Amino acid sequence: MKHVRGPLCSIDVGDRTVETEAIDEILESFIGGRALGTKLAHDRIPFDADPLGSENRLYFATGPMQHSTMSFTGRMSATGVSPLTDGLLSSNAGGFLSRNFTGTGYSAVEITGASDELVIVHVSDDGVEFEPVPDLAEATVSETCEYIEDEHGFGSEHTTVIGPGGENQVRFASIMTSRERAFGRGGLGAIMGSKNVKAITFDGDSTRDVEIPPLQMEIHGEAAKADHPMKAQGTTSVTEYANMVEALPTRYFTDTSFEGVEGISGDRVEEKKYKKGTCSACAFACKLPTRDEESGLETEGPEYETVMAFGSNAGIDDIVDVMQSNKLCDEYGLDTISAGDVVSAYLKSEDEFGNADLIHDLVEKIAYREGVGDTLADGVDRVHDELGVENWSVKGMEFSAHDGRTLNGQGLAFATSNRGADHMYAEFYPYEYPLVDADDAFDKGGLEDKPPKLVELENINAIKDSGVICKFSRDFVTEDRIATLLDADYEELLEVGAEVVSLERHFNNQRGFDRDDDRLPYEIPDFERGLEEYYDERGWNDDGTVPDAAFEGGHGAPADD
């Protein structure tokens, strides 16, 4: 089985110490990326760690595919205990960082401890340096990237950066890379903020050799030649269709379709797109550099989830207003989905849907924890009672789009996801719209025959996140192809993916998570039976916990409690 190569670099930012450690046995079993980060976190982070305490650890990792020249591989993974969900969580980001990370020669970098002053950590194949940067306190992402480039000559493709949101420990703060790409969901930016780390740079010429099969060039060529709507509109190509089938959350989940959808549709985004955008080594080029000529506003995106969160869910029908919200979140370092949802919750509490000026003011207040922003910065799960609105979250994470009230399999996927209400954990929605061939599709309603497919999708997505391979490759990186690329049987890969999901679940179980956390704020048909079938398919207990015996003879054993 192909896997990333190189030692673990462990950096204690409190003690200013650096250690390297060979982890070949873990790499051989866990590939890289999310699987590697999950295994390290499970075994090295105390089960009772405070997500914002010095004992929490943050892992960055690439996979074997970052040693290729194939499209869909310009991504990498970050893992830690989420300040938003209180559980173990991985997030991944695109852009141009991953190849510079591999240049350091490390398979993974671990950040632990907490600095007594704001620092930038510089990681290279020559070593690690700590740079105090008190003058960058509460600097925006762009300001920080400009400082690093001016002082060190590193472009933003070498950096992970937090904005004011991370420093102020907003529970859904992002880690930004390439300025506008985000390790978005779960608040990993707040972990960097709690450790007083403003940025980390990666550089070097020590990329390890990983031989990738020639199939990579065939896939790359297909990606370049494909006529695909995402090349023009990114994920917003689905906006009007989602609205038509009543799967577009609207006015803080009051409705499932939006009468103003035309003003925030994929066509409106395409009109604002002014050049191609892509990630490292990718010929698919589905990113969305956009510009509003009248105001001069430039941003990247918004993608569909942001269009939902700051558009339909906030009662906004002008794409330029959504672009501005997107820009602010990127500058301040905030996850656009959680930020948009918690702002929409506030709009509902104040009957202010559609008030763009208020929305933009609230985003700034959240980032700096000023006024009501200090309340909203903790997320919907912690503030819904104070606002007097329903708790639209799962495991503390705000909902993304692809509404589970219509797409019932996606609804179950939101409930079972160890990450919370995130659509990318399993990606069941393409099978229900459907966006796949008719032979592979499911009816939207009900859960019949869906739990086994949900388990498979969670498992293979864990492998894609470990490879690391972009989820938008599904039309190109098929079951047989991912097996070829990673030199493994598909069933073997599914087993590794299952172990990753179980490691996440086991860690969270030790923190008190169980069946009661696999819940939705709405009802779908046969939900309890579907949940039981899901647990049975995974071999878990009927209370949603993982038997300790599940780890015996596997890739690793759980850490001591």
Q: Where are the domains of the chain?
A: 8-203, 226-398, 408-551
Return all residues near 471 (Cβ < 8 A) that are at least 6 apart.
Answer: 424, 427, 461, 464
pLDDT of residue 553: 37
Residue with structure tokens 């980001």? 93
Query: Does residue 188 contact residue 174 with C-beta atoms inside 8 Å?
Result: yes
pLDDT of residue 437: 94
DSSP letter assigned to residue 6? S
Q: How far apart are CA 318 and CA 337, in angstroms?
A: 18
Quick one: fold of 8-203?
Aldehyde Ferredoxin Oxidoreductase;  A, domain 1 (3.60.9)
The per-residue pLDDT of the chain, averaged, comes to 96
Query: Does residue 220 contact residue 69 with C-beta atoms inside 8 Å?
Result: yes
CATH code matching the domain that covers 226-398, chosen among 2.60.40.1230, 3.40.190.100, 1.20.58.340, 1.10.569.10: 1.10.569.10
pLDDT above 80 (res 452): yes
Among 86-90, 281-285, 469-473, 557-561, the least confident range: 557-561
- Kindly calculate the radius of gyration of the chain based on its CA atoms and give it in whole angstroms: 22
pLDDT of residue 549: 74
DSSP letter assigned to residue 273? B
Q: How far apart are CA 555 and CA 83, in angstroms?
A: 28
Return the amino acid letter for 197: V
Q: How far apart are CA 461 and CA 448, in angstroms?
A: 22
Give the pLDDT mean for 242-260.
98
pLDDT of residue 359: 98
Query: Does residue 108 contact residue 61 with C-beta atoms inside 8 Å?
Result: yes
> b/e map of 45-57 (b: 16 or more CB within 10 Å)?
bebebebbebebb
Query: Does residue 216 contact residue 484 with C-beta atoms inside 8 Å?
Result: no
Quick one: fold of 408-551?
1.10.599
**pLDDT band of 548, cuts 50, 70, 90:** confident
pLDDT of residue 93: 97
pLDDT above 50 (res 261): yes
Q: How far apart are CA 327 and CA 288, in angstroms?
A: 12
Residue with structure tokens 């923190």? 511
pLDDT above 70 (res 522): yes
Residue 118 parent element (H or E): none
Give the pLDDT mean for 167-194.
98
Query: Does residue 468 contact residue 75 with C-beta atoms inside 8 Å?
Result: yes
Specify burial of residue 417 (Cβ count, 10 A radius: 0-12, 13-18, 19+).
buried
Give the pLDDT mean for 205-224.
97
pLDDT above 50 (res 114): yes
Q: How far apart are CA 286 and CA 277, in angstroms?
A: 6
Query: Does residue 356 contact residue 316 with C-beta atoms inside 8 Å?
Result: yes
Q: How far apart are CA 186 and CA 175, in angstroms?
A: 10
Tens of pLDDT along 118-169?
A: 999 999 999 999 999 999 999 999 999 999 999 999 999 999 999 999 999 9
Return all residues near 477 (Cβ < 8 A) that are at least 6 apart.
Answer: 72, 219, 464, 469, 485
Least Cα distance to 255 among 244, 267, 247, 245 occurs for 247
- Share of residues in the chain with pLDDT > 70 (%): 98
- Share of residues in the chain with pLDDT > 90 (%): 98
Give the pLDDT mean for 257-285.
97
Q: How far apart are CA 334 and CA 507, in angstroms?
A: 26
pLDDT of residue 552: 52
Tens of pLDDT along 98-107?
A: 999 999 999 9
**pLDDT band of 555, cuts 50, 70, 90:** very low
- Cα 161 from chain centre: 15
pLDDT of residue 551: 63
Give the pLDDT mean for 395-418.
98
DSSP letter assigned to residue 292? -
How much is the pTM?
0.96
Q: How far apart are CA 470 and CA 286, in angstroms?
A: 11
pLDDT above 50 (res 560): no
pLDDT above 80 (res 429): yes
